[in-house]
Structure 1
Amino acid sequence: MKRLAAVLTALTLGTAVLATPVAVSAWGNSGHRMIGMAAVRALPADLPGFLRSPSAAADVGELSREPDRWKGAGQPHDRERDTAHFVDMDDSGHVLAATGPSIDALPPLKSDYDAALIAAGESVNDAGYLPYAIMDGYQQLVRDFAHWRVLNAMGARETDPGRRAWYQVDRARREALILRDMGVLSHYVGDGSQPLHTSIHYNGWGRFPNPEGFTDSRQTHSSFEGAFVFRAVRFDAVEAAMPAPQLDGFDLRTRVSAYLRATLAEVVPFYRLEKAGGFAEADPRGTVYATARLAAGAAELRDLTVLAWRASGEVSVGWPAVKVSEVEAGTVDPWLSMIGED
């Protein structure tokens, strides 16, 4: 892990990551780190400076591991959270089976999704609810950014010393929350870029028609995101492979569904590559594949962060609610809405 530590140190010091191989552990740890770090380093200049700092990249990278580190807390905690990491779709994009909800027409609420699965005779716990975890994380980030905008504007403009000090301290708290919440979103977005987190064929092809003779090994999932990624993927290659931003025509449910469907489309190519030996020792075909999957996750996190920032300027926060745009324009005093009237 010394080389990965060197990458984190370089980020903290603001130096460039050099084009040398970076050893990583499993997708569950260093793969998630790379997604969070790469996304933050790719944020545009119009986002807040604290979020574009080297230390923020390192923090989001570490916090991207958080939902895995929650595991083992006991019940009901684990049952409610463990199924957020995946959504098991059949080859056509329906959850679990053709009678399950389609990824292209997800119900508005997770409770409606659960009800649809039960009505189809399927198990909610077997299905997973990754799309809702991603949507929830995005919406939380919008709220975080909206509060930060108000606190930032008033910390600079407020003339009362006591109020100004409170705004500035609360902004610092909000910045810590933003990094944490972005890390959590990073984790689920990263899970969504791993094809085996989107498929009923999540650990070998399984008991389904298998005309191409794909592997049934139950080690398929872990060996790919673990040992292979450990020895094959480089952080600088992930950054270089990130696709260009896609920010136009945004609709959250449509965007998340399209993202997960695109990952689902990689399941058969994954198994074909596995059958051809592409994940053998140092095979460049597998390296390219794994790098592209991590890069897709990093790019999606980058884009969702930018979109959340843009949306945050158009909402209201506090109680009584105040419009963020009016606070930033200086036409509204948000003090009571922020501090609370009671």
Structure 2
Amino acid sequence: MHVSVHFNGWGDYPNPKGYTTAPIHGPFEGAFVRDFIDFKDVRKSIPNYSAPKDDAPIEKRVAAYLGESLAQIEPVYEAARKDDYASASPKALKIVNQQLGMGITQLRDEIVNAWRESKDVTAGYPLLSVADVLAGKVELTPTTLASD
């Protein structure tokens, strides 16, 4: 929702399905989560980590995730139209548990991917290889860190 023009109410856009134009962000992500979400249930929607299936860069992986996230906007608004966020309806619980699980999975996976890919990165000036630092070939000192 965060990258959509519909992030907090449908707004002043064509609205053939009559979705709410009132703020939805707080009730959906705040009060509903606080009052009705059991994170034991969210954990059930979080798959085990799996490495990227291709060598796609993070920019491509994040774009794919955001596309998947955008596809969930209408179900969120459909549940709001039926006032499913006022109580713990099974439909609203499923939507919110899935959304939370999807976000947690993406964040976890990209942190793991970044850590794994960081060994191939260089930083500083002169450039230092993270792999060399981890292997003890380069000692990090105030001098090596502050020379750039």
Do they superpose with TM above 0.5?
yes
State the identity %: 36
TM-score (structure 2 length as normaliser): 0.83
Deviation for aligned residue 1:262: 1.0
Deviation for aligned residue 1:221: 2.1
CA RMSD between the two structures: 2.4
Q: Relative to structure 2, which stretch is displaced further, 230-239 or 325-334?
A: 325-334
| Equivalent position amino acid for 1:221 in 2 | H
Q: Residues 340 and 287 of structure 1: is their aligned pair in 2 closer, same or farther, counting only changes over 3 Å?
A: same
Are the equivalent residues in 1 in contact too, given 2:45–2:98 (CA < 8 A)? yes
| Aligned-partner Cα distance in 1 for 2:125–2:143 | 5
| Aligned-partner Cα distance in 2 for 1:306–1:294 | 18
| Aligned-partner Cα distance in 2 for 1:329–1:235 | 39
| Aligned-partner Cα distance in 1 for 2:93–2:58 | 31
Q: List runs of 5+ in structure 1 lacking aligned partners.
A: 1-194
Deviation for aligned residue 1:340: 4.0
**Aligned residue runs from structure 1 range 227-246, under 5 A:** 227-246=31-50
Q: Residues 317 and 276 of structure 1: is their aligned pair in 2 closer, same or farther, counting only changes over 3 Å?
A: same
- 1:269 paired with 2:75, answer yes
Q: Residues 334 and 225 of structure 1: is their aligned pair in 2 closer, same or farther, counting only changes over 3 Å?
A: closer
**Aligned residue runs from structure 1 range 206-221, under 5 A:** 206-216=11-21, 218-221=22-25
**Aligned residue runs from structure 1 range 1-342, under 5 A:** 195=1, 197-216=2-21, 218-248=22-52, 249=54, 250-332=56-138, 338-340=144-146
| Equivalent position amino acid for 1:223 in 2 | P
Q: Residues 320 and 198 of structure 1: is their aligned pair in 2 closer, same or farther, counting only changes over 3 Å?
A: closer
| Equivalent position amino acid for 1:321 in 2 | L
Q: Deviations over 1:155-185 (max 9, x none)?
A: xxxxxxxxxxxxxxxxxxxxxxxxxxxxxxx
Are the equivalent residues in 2 in contact too, given 1:327–1:334 (CA < 8 A)? yes
The alignment covers a number of residue pairs equal to 146
The residue matched to 2:77 in structure 1 has which SS? helix
The residue matched to 1:199 in structure 2 has which SS? coil
Q: Residues 201 and 232 of structure 1: is their aligned pair in 2 closer, same or farther, counting only changes over 3 Å?
A: same
Q: List runs of 5+ in structure 2 lacking aligned partners.
A: none
| Equivalent position amino acid for 1:201 in 2 | H
Q: Residues 266 and 323 of structure 1: is their aligned pair in 2 closer, same or farther, counting only changes over 3 Å?
A: same
